[in-house]
Amino acid sequence: MKKISLRGRVFPTDLNHAGTVFGGWLMGKMDKAASIQIEDILISPAVTVAVSDMSFLRPVYSGAIFTIYTEVLAIGNTSVKVDVDVQIKCRDTHEEYSVTHAVFTFVIIDDNKRPRNVREVIRDDIDDYIRRKL
């Protein structure tokens, strides 16, 4: 089940020399959105260990309002995979379309920064669709 984890607007300082959004800036937003999704289901620090299937599908321009949707794809022993989809809302039609997509993998860590079992730190109030992935 997809949920909104982050929204914002692109400013001129967020662009590359071609005049479209700088990919690294957008990746940072995606990482933050994924980390918010992680914190919604776990009570523990977590770090990004991998990013896969990164695709920049369409250019993003200054002034665009973006919405980052996240969805928990899989829960491992110490890791969680989050699907991250960035969408832009067309100013005229209000239709949304995907501009960037990736899968972020987070590892839950303990006080010594070592991997920790997800099931020790899962929140009680998680949605049923997430509980079914445990």
Q: Does 37 bind ligand COA (CB under 6 A)?
A: no
Write down the least CB distance from residue 64 to ligand COA, Å: 26
Write down the least CB distance from residue 78 to ligand COA, Å: 3
Write down the least CB distance from residue 50 to ligand COA, Å: 3
Q: Does 50 bind ligand COA (CB under 6 A)?
A: yes
Q: Name which of residues 62 to 91 contact ligand COA (CB under 6 A).
A: 76-79
Instruction: Provide the 3-class DSSP secondary structure of residue 64.
Output: coil
Residue that has been written with the tokens 């699907």 in this structure:
83
Q: Name which of residues 113 to 132 contact ligand COA (CB under 6 A).
A: 113, 115
Residue 126: how many other CB atoms lie within 10 Å? 15
Of 86, 105, 116, 122, the one binding ligand COA (CB under 6 A) is: 105
CB burial string 28-37: b at 16+ within 10 A, e below: ebbbebbbbb
Task: Classify residue 115 by its DSSP letter.
Answer: B
**Do 71 and 4 meet the contact criterion of CB atoms below 8 Å apart?**
no
